Amino acid sequence: MASSSRHVVVVGSGIIGASCAAELTGRGFRVTLVDQALPGGTQAASYGNGAFLSPASIIPMSFPGMWRKIPGYLLDPLGPVAIRWRYLPRLLPWLWRYLLAGVTETRFRRTAGLLNALLRDGPDRHTRLAALTGQEDLIHRKGLVYAFADRAAYETEGLSWRVRRDNGIETRELDRDALHALIPDLAPSYGFGILVVQGAHCTDPGGYVAGIVSWCEGQGVRLTQGRVTGFLSEAGRLSAVCTDRETLPCDAVIIAAGARSAALAKLAGDRVPLESERGYHVEIPNAGLGPEIPVMPQDGKMANTMTRGGLRASGQVELSATDAAPDWRRADVLLGHLMRTYPALAARRDELVVNRWQGNRPSTPDGLPVIGRASGLKGVFHAFGHGHVGLASGPKTAEIVADLIEDKAVPAEIAAFSARRFR
């Protein structure tokens, strides 16, 4: 069956779903994009992330020796990783797998290598996608800076930076003078930096996603609001996607519904341990200052990026139910870090406008997304669970899934992203 006569339903209009729709449209497929909310809206992780397009984001959250930190995470609700006590019983199986995923350096390096396959040319892919969709002004390729108090602080993360270099990521060391020449507003307490040369960023992630979808609609993609309730099949192959509003006959479906993908994957024969790794941001529209090149101050583990909405600080990891009420104290932790990172901002604290946001990253315990064919129903494809790297890896994920739909050969390492790994 020719691509032009094949119909693919994409469930989810975040960066993964939008990228899939754009890729499939370019290959001549007929595409319907289904979501409960509007693309690029504040409900989406794609809206509120740190806006980094970083080849260096290959370092998994689970690392050797992390198990020693779990008691501290439980006791400190405002630390870099927080676990809500009432959620702990449900979370324990996921958390055990999470710790095992990075328990040895070998496992840590394996995960980083697999993520590198998704991220290494992410800035190039986004440059092309932005040009295709008429949004060149949203992608900036100036590099990304990681700021440290001094070289000794950098060396405490030695394994992570060795792994990055071993995966071909180009970096440049910045002494105090070079760091402050690039980021003049930075506090003098930062005396050493690393520039990720190929890094890039997006100045409006939510608007970018909405723009991709708008371009797709202009190419004939149908965008429909609705909640997917199930799949119809004939002889073990998908025949239609059912929503709460209509039935959509189709040849294939891509599950790219972010943190709500696990229930749909289960209908297609795969049990995926997916949790909501909740993140926060604060954005100051009247900051009057900020880094021209995005910065990750390593004492705060937060992305500082100038966006269309102002100076944004994004980060935090909170493990809790998707629908739990936000703990805005965690956003205020980010705000406090901003004040310490940029002293001139702290001097104007009382006059600042601060917008706060909380969203849900879809995260697997092993730090790898779920990409590939479903186990129990032909014609169903997974593209979810990207955690912290969804924005950066969207176009590459779309290429992989489109190749699978077309029965093209894909690199052997793609098998590591299969949902079957959780059996």
> Has residue 398 got a pLDDT over 70?
yes
Instruction: Determine the Cα–Cα distance for residues 324 and 317; give it in Å rounded to an integer.
Output: 14
63-77: per-residue pLDDT in tens? 898 878 777 777 777
Instruction: Determine the Cα–Cα distance for residues 61 and 97; give it in Å rounded to an integer.
Output: 12
CA angle 49, 273, 84 (to 5 degrees): 65
Mean of pLDDT over the chain: 95
Ramachandran angles phi, psi of 183, nearest 5°: -125, 80
What are the boundaries of each domain within the chain? 1-63+107-136+201-273+364-423
**pLDDT, position 316:** 87
* b/e sequence 403-419, b meaning 16+ C-beta within 10 Å: bbbeeeebeeebebbbb
197-227: per-residue pLDDT in tens? 999 999 999 999 999 999 999 999 999 999 9
> Has residue 1 got a pLDDT over 60?
no
Query: Beta partners for 318?
Result: 82, 278
Class of domain 1-63+107-136+201-273+364-423: alpha beta
| Percentage of the chain lying above the pLDDT 90 cut | 88
Q: What is the pTM of this model?
A: 0.96
**pLDDT, position 121:** 97
CA angle 256, 260, 262 (to 5 degrees): 85
**pLDDT, position 75:** 75
The C-alpha R_g of the chain, in whole angstroms, comes to 21
- Strands 247-249 and 370-373: what pairing? unpaired
The answer to whether the CB of 12 falls within 8 A of the CB of 263 is: no
| Percentage of the chain lying above the pLDDT 70 cut | 99
Instruction: Determine the Cα–Cα distance for residues 228 and 337; give it in Å rounded to an integer.
Output: 40
> Has residue 4 got a pLDDT over 70?
no
Mean pLDDT to the nearest integer, 373-400: 97
**pLDDT, position 40:** 95
Query: Beta partners for 362?
Result: 276
